[in-house]
Amino acid sequence: MPQGAASNLLFQGSDWNFETLSRTYDAIEAIAIDELGLDVYPNQLEIISSEQMLDAYSSVGMPLMYQHWSFGKRFVFEDHLYRKGRRGLAYELVINSNPCITYLMEENTMAMQALVTAHAAFGHNHFFKNNYLFRQWTDASAILDYMEFAKKYIAKCEERHGTAAVESILDSAHALMDQGVFRYRRPPRLSSEKERERTRERLEYEEQTFSDLWRTLPPTSENSDPKAVERDVSERKKALNLPEENLLYFLEKTSLILEPWQREILRIVRVIAQYFYPQRQTKVMNEGCATYVHYTIMNRLFDRGQITEGAMLEVLQSHTNVVFQPPFDDPRYPGINPYALGFAMMQEIERICVDPTSEDRDWFPEIAGTGNWRETLLDAWANHRDESFILQYLSPSLIRKFRLFLLTDEADDNYCEVASIHNERGYEAIRTALARSYDVGANQPDIQVMDVDLLGDRHLRLQHNVKNGVLLEEDGRDDTLRHVRHLWGYDVSIAGVDSETGETLYECTTADLSGDD
């Protein structure tokens, strides 16, 4: 190999060491910052083995996590798939924290390490730091401290109250995790360690000074006047801030039977659920952003002669695997691949900015032909979530490329109907439907706390606002309701109310459920 060509290369062969990692990182950083204009948290890259990767997987990707059997179940499940060869390990794992932690697997080749660095340490990192949802809802600098606190706190509870008692609270809290997030108002920021310490001290103080006598006060005078009753109800609701969509929050604050440490555990689960909520709303964008960034950077490195053709081939092969989208009738079809969709949409944006067709000019007058692809992308990454991103940027040419079509499915019919396909008339409908399918808030059952008579029988009433007639899966509903009862301590009922007609579709109460827990 001629000396001149070799000097430009960052690495040769597939072995890596810390020197090549560092040199490659610097080259990638230069492109990411100077050419793509990315803005990232400081990076911390950690080398781990594949077993450790499996461990990290099963604790929902957090480096610190409290102990719970469900993580063991997840581990057994992942491990099983991995050993059967049904699933490969992810090449990377990245944590939304400041500094941003990226795991690199030791088994990766140097080319893969470069790919992962570009993908995670710059793509994901930039997205975490700049996307409005993450900026607004998560606190990257506090999460690791908080997780450490949570882990210790729960371990301490296990010591004091026994593993079984803690486990049963966690089980119930996990069942309500999806209903444990604020969707519309911003949750209070994670308090700093000091503040938390103070809260804990306060809790302990309350625990010591708690007097059960106050709970046995006689009920207020009986009201027979229906108007007064109604007024009472509305006052009561106002006082409790009902209706409340965050079930975990409501139980944490209002449940009469929970002890302070149990409330704190609910809070921990809720905080974690909230922390992951933006990730669930931005899967396509987040993965698309990271994939787009690694693809662009690796190509730049190759153009500059900094990586060999062999390394580039390896990168491309793995890139192709990642963005592979099997058609719906393929046995491998797992749903729409967020990597594929996100990456393709971002490439489309670049193309529309630089080299638009007349169709693009019609659909995207603001960006077509401006040449400002970099700014357009940075803006999209910062200011959208999946739903709005797709609604705004899914282009007709991409709908054709993916050959997307829209299927409607009514429960009563024994067939599905093709509503729209990738043609002139269908673009709009497909785009809207696809965007809606990424609206986490809309796809999750809308369940709210409606009413509770704290001075009466303390029956907790939940309401499920049924949209499009989609009910709840019954076994899961009943089991989950039992968990709510466990946390609430008194009977709980749920009513399914059609959000359009206001008609009650079903009702279910724990008093009728067999098998109390």
Partner 1 sequence: MPNFIDRRLNPKDKSLGNRQRFLKRAREELKRVIKERVKSGKIADVDAEHNVSMPARGVSEPSFQPDRHSGEKQYVLPGNREFAPGDRLPKKGSGRGAAGAGAGTGKSEDDFQFVLSREEVLDLFFEDLELPDMVKLNLKESVAFKRRRAGFTASGSPMNINVGRTMRNSFGRRIALRRPSRREVEELAEEIAKLEAAPGAQTKHKQHIEELRQTLDKLERRRRRIAYVDPVDIRFNRFEPQPLPNASAVMFCLMDVSASMGEREKDLAKRFFVLLHLFLKRRYERIDIVFIRHTDEAGEVDENTFFYSKQSGGTIVSTALEEMLRVIRERYPAHEWNIYAAQASDGENISGDSERCASLLHDELMRLCQYYAYVEIIDERETEIFGTTDNGTSLWRAYRTVDDEWPNFQMTRIAKPADIYPVFRKLFGKQQTVQLHK
Question: What is the closest distance, in whole angstroms, from the C-beta atom of residue 225 to partner 1 in the complex?
Answer: 37
Nearer to partner 1, 447 or 452 (CB): 447
Contact 462, 452 (CB under 8 A): no
> Closer CB to partner 1, residue 384 or residue 422?
422
- CA angle (88, 325, 273) in 5-degree steps: 65
- Rounded to a whole number of angstroms, the minimum distance from the CB of residue 255 to partner 1 is 18
Spatial contact of 94 and 48, defined as CB atoms under 8 Å apart: no
Q: Which residue, 95 or 353, is less far from partner 1 as judged by CB?
A: 95
Nearer to partner 1, 307 or 404 (CB): 404
> Cβ of residue 409: shortest distance to partner 1, in angstroms?
5
The CA dihedral of 46, 51, 54, 55, to the nearest 10 degrees, is -80
Minimum CB distance to partner 1, residue 92 (Å) = 14
CB of 29 to partner 1, least distance (A): 8
Least distance CB 444 / partner 1 (angstroms): 8
How many Cβ atoms sit within 10 Å of the Cβ of residue 156?
13
177: Cα separation from own chain's centroid? 12
Q: CB within 8 A of 410, min separation 6: which ones?
A: none
Alpha-carbon gap, residue 69 to 164, rounded angstroms: 11
| Residue 167 or 350 with smaller CB distance to partner 1 | 167
- Minimum separation from the CB atom of position 349 to partner 1 (A): 19
Nearest residue to 459 (alpha-carbon basis) of 496, 495, 504: 495
Burial of 341 (C-beta count, 10 Å sphere; 0-12/13-18/19+): buried
Nearest to 32 by CA among 122, 115, 99: 122
Nearer to partner 1, 76 or 455 (CB): 76
To 10 degrees, the CA torsion angle through 330, 331, 336, 342? -70
Task: Tell me the C-alpha distance between 267 and 487, whole Å.
Answer: 13
Checking DSSP bridges between strand 43-48 and strand 100-105, what pairing results, if any?
Answer: parallel
13: left (phi over 0), alpha (psi -120 to 50) or beta: left
Residue with tokens 């109250």: 161
Distance in Å, CB of 6 to partner 1, minimum: 24
> Rounded to the nearest whole angstrom, what is the least distance from the CB of residue 384 to partner 1 in the complex?
18
CB of 417 to partner 1, least distance (A): 5
- The residues, ordered by sequence, that sit 6+ positions from 10 with a Cβ below 8 Å of its Cβ are 20, 23, 24, 27, 114, 301, 306, 307
CA dihedral 79, 80, 81, 86 (to 10 degrees): 120
| Closer residue to partner 1 (CB): 34 or 329 | 329
Measured CA distances, 114 to 56, 110, 379, 442 (Å): 21, 6, 26, 38
Residue 224 or 468: which CB sits closer to partner 1? 468
Q: Please, which residue, 363 or 373, has the CB nearer to partner 1?
A: 363
| Beta carbon nearer to partner 1, 38 or 447 | 447
State both tokens at 451: 């009413």
Least distance CB 282 / partner 1 (angstroms): 18
Closer residue to partner 1 in complex, CB, 305/326: 326
280 touches 440 (CB < 8 A): yes
- Tell me the two tokens of residue 392: 């705004």
- 297, two tokens: 């950077």
